[in-house]
Chain A
């Protein structure tokens, strides 16, 4: 990128005083936290999930987290959206209007890494390209529970659960075969038929479960599974798969 002399956006740098004050806010706030959400060009999915996080079911207000209508009241700024060209300056204005110290949270897949819009021409690709971010909450959109967990991490109530993973291939790593006792052609035929009938993801799951039961030569278990699920669509599909196994139907 540098070879073409392209501009790379840098986030606003904090002064030392603001950074020090922010640390006390992050560790021990000792009061309610007011949240202002800044839309930097999102699809509104994140906003809907933020509002469902303050409904009675999830009730973020029991922790003193309140969504406010002005950045001048805010302790926490929630940046949603992938930062489009048009919404960058309004987002920076909202940031400048909030009093120091303020916690900045990058919310949703678009806010964290640009999401599916990360390489568009008019997109900055993540709110950490314009403001200093303290907490990242991924998800598309994050569920209300994930939102509450993110607030708890931001306010130092909970520790983050996720750790970066680095795996290096071992000396004798060998991938195990899926369903080794089922002939390969049969597995492919059943999987194809299941995916044709139930869609790709569900079809794969149904055929895997069905063949796992067959592998243990457990015909009663298939019936028990169908009875337990009590779903006519599933019964139809599984009966069709049984026909494929019996060789009555060519998938």
Chain B
């Protein structure tokens, strides 16, 4: 009997004190994904990577917004979003207490504005992703004057750029057949 008590005393208490004391999770624990909306450039890399489609993004050009949404209920905490985020905007926290009585509380929304093209006035990309690209160019050594000079290019959509490129070089022959004929003449 005494021996049994000794064994019990030696074994100690294995039960965690969890709901009364916070539980310590192991390093590398993947809990609730937290978005830092300041850092997010709404590029959509995380929504492409999310295997469960917990992360979704909708673009509404008529109301000039792109809505990023995380449905924590569907999240499988794999960390792919964290891997692909170019600005470290989404990180997996150590928060695991996610039970809710109201399903609407499982949604995280973020609304971002769109960049309008100076030529055709159509939105073509999120405003913040253009700003971030400019900052990256500045970091890689482009001067402020050069960036200022290219300001019109940053706010032109790819389709308009293509059109402008063609209209600028109108005199150049684009057709193969014509060039070949010219070669024959020579």
Residues of A whose CB lies within 8 Å of any CB of B are 56-59, 62, 109, 112-116, 118-119, 126, 128, 133-140, 142-143, 145-146, 148-150, 152-154, 157-158, 160-169, 173-178, 180, 183-185, 200-201, 204, 208
Contacts and interface: CB of A to CB of B under 8 A. Distances in A.
Contacts of A135: 99-101
B73 A136 contact: yes
Contact of B77 (A139, A174, A177): A139
A138 B73 contact: yes
Given A59-B15, A162-B105, A175-B128, A138 B98 contact: yes
B160 interface: no
A137 B110 contact: no
B173 to A, nearest CB: 39
Contacts, number: 173
A178 B100 contact: no
Given A145-B23, A160-B102, A160-B105, 10 more contacts: A113-B73, A116-B76, A134-B101, A139-B98, A140-B76, A145-B97, A148-B18, A166-B109, A174-B128, A175-B135
A113 B54 contact: yes
Interface of B: 14-16, 18-19, 23, 32, 35, 37-41, 51-54, 71-77, 79, 82-83, 87-89, 95-113, 127-128, 131-132, 135-136, 139-140
A152 B15 CA distance: 17
A169 B37 CA distance: 8
A62 B14 CA distance: 13
Contacts of A62: 15
